[in-house]
Amino acid sequence: MQLPNLERLFINRYQTVTVTAYCVLVALPSLIFPHPIALLPLAVIPLGLLFILRKPFVVCLIFILFSFFRLHEVFPQLDPLKIPLLTALASYFVLAWHIFLTEKVKVYWRHEHTIFARFFGWVVLGIAFSSYPPAAFGAFTSVYMKIGIMVLAISWMMTEHWHFKLVHFMIICSGLAVGAVTLYNNANGIGMVEETRVTIPGTSLGDPNDLSLVLSFPMSYAVAYASTKGTGKFRTLLGLTGIIVFVSSIIATQSRGGLLATVAVFGIFGLRKIKSKLLLISIGSFALMILVAAAGISDRKSGGAAEDGIDESAMGRIHAWEAAFNMALRNPMTGVGLDLFLDNYWDYATHSRAEGKAHVTHSTWFQVMSESGFVGFGLFGFMIFTVFMSIRGSLKRLDQNKGTPEYDPHISAIAAGTYAGLVGFCVSGTFLSQGFLWPVYIITAISIAIANYTDNHFPREQDQ
């Protein structure tokens, strides 16, 4: 009888300490700022804590959406709320809470995790051998470390059917918010660069090429909604609306990489519907010509019809790619270090300062090659290949259930959207420096989650 009494005493003391500490926290704001409004934030803390503990994946998803779409920058009214910081801290807290205490988050490890971990570990190792370790370490702690944690968090937390439906829906809605601002800016001449190319000024999407890449990702999910039967009329309508907004926005950026990504995304869905490859290639080529004409590429200040020979934009890329290759050639193992391409540009450039200015790599592949060496480039390429085969295998297995009671259109839709999104990234990423930013890693995490869900709910015949 003594043991239950001790347990009860411990629980009572724990509750007493918790309540006392909370009362002290409530009293402090009133002493510092004697106004009733100071009590409001603490009044909602218990409700907020209860929410993040009961819905940990939602908190994680909010952080991902704000990080990827930069919603707090697109809508500056949200910036004082510090949503990315708060949701990041909350995500780390609930992840640890449910892994070590409640054990509601089941940790698992797949082959895709191993391939990602190898590349991630190599990048971390390269910091010590970089040209300037403090700067490389700063880039790691500010962005890349969060990416590494969230890849694991998403893949481990995204396990239930409603998780996949929510991710699909929220990615499109967040993309529509960015697309709406893009079209508004284009209509009102806000944030225009080179006179004709729209951006969202004052944000990380101030470059039209980066903006087009961000928009191409939700576009793949919108096409998935519109082309997958069984998701419901509302989601089909949302997908069709998204296609119109995203394609129009990408056209307004006049990004050649964005237009190629658009054709690639639609091409992936075309492969699933059209049997004739020749017909598909013909349709894709014609569609690309229409998009180029609609975007007015020939009217661009750089890369337009007014420039003879190799235009300034293309020459800048060539110079950057030459510098990137030279960095990898002289540092074949680990490259120059994370986020240090520009700092080392003139040490490896083949042209003089009089012939041009320093450019970012304008290529995910050359960025990875220059900042992590040929070894890192190989590991990154193998990671992309592994994720590609993983999501392709999941989609193929889901398609085999069409026409059966086990078929799930919502899982098939997000798998198809992720598959097309990866292809779109590989195409547009050839002209953008996105090797160490969110897009490909979100795709990786979602692909792992889909593969795990598929294995658990649609096992292979030999596993049954």
DSSP for residue 309: S
CA distance 417 to 443: 10
- CA distances, 435 to each of 221, 367, 440 (Å): 21, 7, 8
* Residue ranges with strand state E in 2-55: none
Pair of tokens at residue 347:
């040490």
For residues 349 and 358, the answer to whether their CB atoms sit within 8 Å is yes
pLDDT digits (tens, 9 = 90+) for 423-448: 999 988 888 888 898 889 999 999 99
**Low pLDDT (below 70) residues in the chain:** 1-53, 295, 297-313, 352-356, 460-464
CA distance 106 to 52: 17
Task: Give the pLDDT of residue 367.
Answer: 93
Task: Give the pLDDT of residue 177.
Answer: 95
For residues 341 and 360, the answer to whether their CB atoms sit within 8 Å is yes
CA distance 167 to 175: 12
Task: Give the pLDDT of residue 457.
Answer: 83
For residues 220 and 263, the answer to whether their CB atoms sit within 8 Å is no
Task: Give the pLDDT of residue 9.
Answer: 47
Neighbours of 81 (CB within 10 A): 10
- CA distances, 375 to each of 133, 135, 175, 231, 284 (Å): 19, 21, 35, 43, 35
Beta bridge partners of 193: 197
Task: Give the pLDDT of residue 389.
Answer: 95
pLDDT digits (tens, 9 = 90+) for 335-389: 999 999 988 988 888 876 666 677 788 889 999 999 999 999 999 999 999 999 9
CA distance 269 to 265: 7
Task: Provide Rg for the chain, Cα atoms.
Answer: 24
The whole model's pTM is what?
Answer: 0.85
Beta bridge partners of 197: 193
Sign, CA dihedral 294-295-300-306, equals negative
